[in-house]
Structure 1
Amino acid sequence: MTRHQKPYGVRRTTLTLLTALGTLAGGALAGAAPAGAATWTGVAAGVTYRQYDLSAAAGVTHAHVLSVDLTNTHVRLGLLYPGAVAANATVSTLANGQKAVAGVNGDFFNISEAQHPGVTATGASVGPAIANGAVLKGAVPDAQRFGPELPPGTDTEAVVGVDTTGRARVDRLSLGGTVTVFGRRLTLGGLNQYALPENSIGAFTSAWGRVSRKRAVCGTDTSRAAGCSTGTYEVTVRRGRVVSASATPGGGAIAAGTTVLVGREAGAARLKRLRVGERVSVRYGLNSASSAAYRFALGGYPVLSDGRALPGLDTRVSAVRTAVGIGNGGRRVFLFALDGAAAYRKGLTIAEVAAALKSLGATEGFSLDGGGSTTLVARPSGGTRVTVRNHPSGGTERAVANGVGVFTQ
C-alpha cells in the first residue's frame, strides 16, 4: 500500500533562517580537518572507512565514517536486527550473525521502564522498520518515543532506508491497516509496537518476539510516563478465526500465521464483542510519503534536506552521535559515528552533525540513536568478523534494537 504524503523538507521561505543556522554550525566546525584530509581505507568492494578529528563548540571530537557506494552492484545496505522486534543485541553480534562487513547502530528504543514498575522494557525500536522488504513494525506515538526532542515538523514516522531501485532515501512511513469483524472494518492503530495510541487496536505477529505485550497499553498520546490502561483486552487469531481471549495482554512467542490483537480503552471494548470461533481479518502495510517501496528502512529523525539543515535544529546540547548521510542522488551513503572515549565524549550538537554530514558530501542527513548506543563496526582487511572502530561511551558495546548493515557479495 502506498499513500502520498508531504515528505520532510525545507521551504524557500526558511532560507534566511537556514543560512544563519548553516553559518553557526559551519563556524563551530571551522577548525575541523577538511573532509578529504583523512585517508580512506578499503573495507570491501564499494566500502571505505576513515577517522578524523572535528573541532566543535564543545571541543575536539573524533569521527568515524563508512562510505558506501551503492552504484557498486556487489554492495547493499540492510537492516541489522536480532530476529525479533522486541529483542536487543550488540552491533558487532548483529553484524557477524548476519555476515555484514560493516555497520552502525540504529533507531532509538524502549530502553527502560522505570516509570512503570513491574512492566518489562521491550527493547523495541521507536520508529517503523522494514527488513528484506518485509514490514516488521510501525511507529509509536510521538509522545511515547525515547531520545532527544524531535526537530520542529518531524515525527516518529521518519525513516532512512533503501528503496527497491537501490537508492537511499529519507522518507516517512505511516501504518495503514484494518481489522475486519462482523463485516465492519476497524482501523488498525499499531503493529508490533511497544506503545499503542489511546483507544486503539494493535496487532502483534511472530516478528514481535517473546517479550510481554503489557507495555503497549502504558502511557498516553501525550505522556510516556502516564500509567498503564486498566481497560484492556486481547484476542488471538489463527487462520482467520478467534482461538482465545484474555482481559490483559500476555507474552511468549507468537506462532507463524497467528496474530494477537491488543486493545486499549475503546479498542478493548470492540475486541470484547468477539467470541472464540468468530472470523477476523487483519491487513496492514506501511505507506510511504514518497510512494517508494523499500527493501529496508528504520527510524530516527531528519537533520539535512536538499543540502540544508532543517530549521530549529538544536545548537546547544553536545553529545556522542550516530547519523546517516546520503549523497549522489541516493547512490552514496555515509555512516557516521562519533568516538565515545573520554577525550572526545562531549561530541557534537545536532546542528553540527548536519554540517559534518554536508561536509562529507551529503545532501540528506538523518540522526540515529547516540550516547552509549553509538557504535561503528567494520571488518579489517582480509578479516571475516567485524571489529568495533569507535570507543562506545559506556566502555563496552550496548545491546541495541537494530542497525544499518553493509553487505557485499
Structure 2
Amino acid sequence: MARRNRRFRTALTVVAAWSALAGTALVGAAPASGAPRVTRIAAGVQYKELDIPAANGVAHAHVLTIDMRNPYVRVDLLYPGTVASRAPVSQLAGARGAVAGVNGDFFNITETQHPGVAATGASVGPAIASGHALKAAVPNGQRFGPALPPGTTTEDVLGVGVDRKARLDGLALDGSVRSAEGKWPLGGLNQYALPVGSIGAFTSDWGSVSRVRSTCGTDTDRAAPCSTDTYEVTIEKGRVVSSANTPGSGPIASGTTVLVGREAGAQQLRKLSTGEPVRLRHRLVAETSWIPYRFALGGYPVLDDGLPLPGLDNTTAAVRTAVGIADGGRRLLLLALDGAPAYRNGLTIAEVAHTMRELGSVDAFSLDGGGSTTMVAEQPGADVVSVLNHPSGGAERPVPNAIGVFSSP
C-alpha cells in the first residue's frame, strides 16, 4: 500500500536490502515433508511454528493467521484498563476472553536518567481500543526501543477500521484548549512525554500514575532534565476547579480532564483562573484513511507494498514480535519469535521484513521485542490461553497493551 511520499526507494537500496538475505528460507517445524503443522485455534484463527535460518543462527517463530473475512473473528486492543499500567499478555487476554494475542507497542519501561521519577509503563504510540482513542504519540526523541527506520515516526500505527480491514497509517493528535484568554493547541493526550512548550490533556484513561514524567526530557533528548517551569489545571464540567505548580498523581474522575503545561504551555495555563469556562477538544486524525479505526496501536513499519523500508537494521539480532497484512487487509499474520536459549539470537529487523514477506505479507509492522515478546492462545480442548513461545526473560513481562484476537461462532 502506497502510504506517504516519505517512502523514497531506489533500486540500489532495495537490491542491497534483499541481497543480504538471499537464500533464507522458512522451514516448517514438524512434518518430514517440511510443510508446517497447522493447528486450528478457533474459527478463523490458525497457528503454526517455523524454523528460520538467519545470519546469527536458526530462529524459531510462532505464527498466528487471522482471517478477517470470517464474520466471527475480530481483533482489538488489550490493555489493563488504563494507559499507565501493565499486565502480562496472558492476563490481558484472559480478562477479555480473547482466544489469542501477542504483545504490542514499545513503552516507558525505565527512568534511570531522571532520579525520583518513576517509569509510567505507558506505550509510545497512539492507541485506539474498541473505537475509543486512548492516547496519542510521544515525540520521536522520547521513544523507547530501537532506532526508528528513516522516514518513520512515533505516530505510525497498525490499525483495523470499522470496515474490518487492516492497514498501516499514521495517527496525529488534533486538539485545542479554548478560554477567554485565547485558544491554544493541545500537544498531548495521555502521554508519558509532552513536546517542549506544550499543553497535554490527561483523562481517566491515564490512570493514577504521576504525571511528572510528561514534563521530563525534550523532543530530541529523552534523558534531558525535567522541566522546572510546569503548571497543572484541573477542568471539571467545563470549568477550572483547581491548579498546581507541579504535575500531580492519583486517579482522574470520568468527565474530568487535567491539563499539564511545560514552559510556554505552563505560562498559558497560568492565565486561567478558578471557575473560568474552558472548552477542550481532541481527536486522533488518520493520515491516509477516511475509514474510522476500531483498533490501532503503535510500533513501526518494516515492509511497505511488498518491499522493505530503506535503512532497516541488518546487524542487530534479537527476539522480535511483528504483524503482517495480506489479502488487501483481510488477513493478519502475528509473529513472535521464541526466546529459548537455543533460539535467542533471533532476527535483525531486515530479516523480520524478509520473513513477513515470505509468509505472504504485503505490509508489515514491528512491535516491541526482547523480553516483551509473548504469544498466547487457547490450546485445543482448553478454554483459557497459555503462552506458546518461551519469553526470553524466563517469564512473561508485564506490558501496556497487546493485540487481542477474538472468535465467537
| TM-score computed with the length of structure 2 as normaliser | 0.96
Q: Distance in 2 between matches of 1:89 and 1:9?
A: 35
Measured against aligned partners, the alpha-carbon deviations of 1:276-309 in whole angstroms (never above 9, x if no partner) come to: 1001111000111113310000000000000011
Q: Distance in 2 between matches of 1:113 and 1:319?
A: 22
Q: Which residue of 2 aligns with 1:290?
A: 288
> Of 256, 264, 267, which aligns to 2:265?
267
> Of 178, 181, 187, which aligns to 2:179?
181
1:272 to 1:148, Cα distance in 2 relative to 1, 3 A: same
Measured against aligned partners, the alpha-carbon deviations of 1:137-164 in whole angstroms (never above 9, x if no partner) come to: 0000000000000000001000001011
Q: Which moved more, 1:40-49 or 1:13-22?
A: 13-22
Q: 1:120: how far off?
A: 1.2
Q: Distance in 2 between matches of 1:214 and 1:113?
A: 12
CA contact (8 A) 1:9 1:310 kept: no
Note the 1:296-307 alignment, pairs <5 A: 296-307=295-306
3-state secondary structure, aligned to 1:25:
coil
Note the 1:165-314 alignment, pairs <5 A: 165-182=163-180, 184-291=182-289, 292-314=291-313
Amino acid at match of 2:281: R
Match status 1:147 vs 2:145: yes
3-state secondary structure, aligned to 1:351:
helix
In structure 1, the gaps of 5 or more residues are none
Q: Distance in 1 between matches of 2:293 and 2:82?
A: 19
Note the 1:297-376 alignment, pairs <5 A: 297-376=296-375
Q: Distance in 2 between matches of 1:15 and 1:241?
A: 57
3-state secondary structure, aligned to 2:92:
helix
CA contact (8 A) 1:22 1:308 kept: no
Amino acid at match of 1:18: V
> Of 12, 15, 18, which aligns to 2:11?
15
In structure 2, the gaps of 5 or more residues are none
Q: 1:191: how far off?
A: 0.2
CA contact (8 A) 2:320 2:373 kept: yes
Q: Distance in 2 between matches of 1:197 and 1:382?
A: 50
Q: 1:392: how far off?
A: 0.2
CA contact (8 A) 1:104 1:376 kept: yes
Q: Which residue of 2 aligns with 1:380?
A: 379
| TM-score computed with the length of structure 1 as normaliser | 0.96
3-state secondary structure, aligned to 1:48:
strand
3-state secondary structure, aligned to 1:19:
helix
Amino acid at match of 2:95: G
Q: Distance in 1 between matches of 2:85 and 2:265?
A: 26
CA contact (8 A) 2:6 2:151 kept: no
Amino acid at match of 2:358: S
3-state secondary structure, aligned to 1:95:
helix
Q: 1:108: how far off?
A: 0.2
1:90 to 1:328, Cα distance in 2 relative to 1, 3 A: same
Measured against aligned partners, the alpha-carbon deviations of 1:110-156 in whole angstroms (never above 9, x if no partner) come to: 00111111111100000000000000000000000000000000010
CA contact (8 A) 1:104 1:405 kept: yes
Identical positions, percent: 60
Match status 1:128 vs 2:126: yes
Amino acid at match of 1:233: Y
1:6 to 1:341, Cα distance in 2 relative to 1, 3 A: closer
Question: How many matched pairs?
Answer: 402
Q: 1:26: how far off?
A: 3.8
Q: 1:241: how far off?
A: 0.1
Amino acid at match of 1:33: V
Measured against aligned partners, the alpha-carbon deviations of 1:217-267 in whole angstroms (never above 9, x if no partner) come to: 000011000000000000000010000000000000000000000000000
CA contact (8 A) 2:28 2:50 kept: no
Q: Which residue of 1 aligns with 2:404?
A: 405
Match status 1:90 vs 2:88: yes
Amino acid at match of 1:102: A
Q: Distance in 1 between matches of 2:331 and 2:385?
A: 22
Match status 1:74 vs 2:72: yes
